């Protein structure tokens, strides 16, 4: 009987561990992260320099391929601007983040803060903007300079730690439970973040550390509220 119990326990443990790793592999595939590159940390060189781009001079384009773009400082020329830097338009976690920020747009705009989002690839961006960003301004950062700023001159790449992060899997479950869906198209390793900018500089900056690591919305709203208070006589 003892031997049978030991065999049953061993079988159960093997089953659980197999499920554990299979779940992670399937999740990686869903989030479109090249497994070999992630495991071996094979990451393309982001740039030839570690210099941090000037956020005011970052060129942002519309989704129109013929658009020449504007300098980012135009976004906060007439007042503060909240900019969500999206990791991948097709990612259900990014869609969740954008939707959660957009649902507070009236509250944010009432404080004199405008909203915009930035993507580093056009594929799926139009659908993302219409369905998850409430039709708010959406820009294409061709050189990925906003992403380099978040990484202090380099991209914040999702590393091996993301493979075993419980928080990332909790976030995935949360987004799926809320009804968000995604696809497996595009570059999913470059992490995003969020800025709140004005002519006075950076009022808030959040750089993601893993999948589903979004700027705390209450912190964001508090910063917007404080900026709104400064505008009132």
Annotated catalytic sites, by residue?
A: 94
Separation of alpha carbons 204 and 195, rounded Å: 6
Extract the tokens encoding 210.
């893993």
First to last CA, the chain: 81
CA 174, 139, 148, 194 torsion: positive or negative? negative
Extract the tokens encoding 134.
């409430």
Q: Which residues contact 203 (CB under 8 A, 6 or more apart)?
A: 80, 196, 197, 223, 227
Q: From 212, 215, 164, select the one nearest 188 (Cα to Cα).
A: 212
Separation of alpha carbons 229 and 225, rounded Å: 6
Query: What is the CA angle 2-4-7, rounded to 5?
Result: 110
Q: From 156, 218, 224, select the one nearest 191 (Cα to Cα).
A: 156
């Amino acid at each position: 009987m003892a031997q049978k119990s030991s065999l049953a326990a061993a079988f159960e443990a093997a089953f659980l561990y197999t499920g554990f790793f299979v779940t992670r592999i399937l999740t990686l595939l869903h989030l479109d992260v090249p497994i070999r590159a992630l495991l071996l940390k094979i990451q393309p060189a982001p740039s030839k320099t570690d210099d941090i781009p000037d956020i005011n001079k970052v060129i942002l384009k519309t989704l129109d391929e013929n658009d020449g773009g504007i300098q980012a400082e135009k976004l906060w020329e007439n007042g503060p601007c909240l900019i969500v830097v999206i990791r991948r338009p097709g990612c259900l976690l990014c869609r969740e983040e954008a939707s959660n920020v957009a649902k507070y747009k009236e509250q944010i705009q009432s404080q004199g803060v405008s909203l915009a989002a930035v993507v580093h690839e056009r594929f799926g961006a139009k659908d993302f903007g219409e369905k998850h960003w409430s039709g708010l301004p959406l820009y294409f950062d061709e050189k990925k300079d906003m992403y380099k700023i978040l990484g202090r001159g380099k991209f914040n790449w999702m590393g091996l730690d993301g493979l075993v992060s419980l928080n990332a899997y909790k976030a995935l479950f949360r987004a799926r439970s809320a009804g968000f869906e995604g696809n497996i198209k595009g570059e999913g390793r470059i992490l995003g973040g969020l800025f709140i900018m004005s002519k006075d500089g950076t009022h808030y900056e959040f750089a993601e550390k893993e999948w589903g690591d979004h700027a705390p919305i209450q912190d964001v709203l508090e910063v917007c509220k404080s900026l709104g208070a400064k505008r009132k006589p």
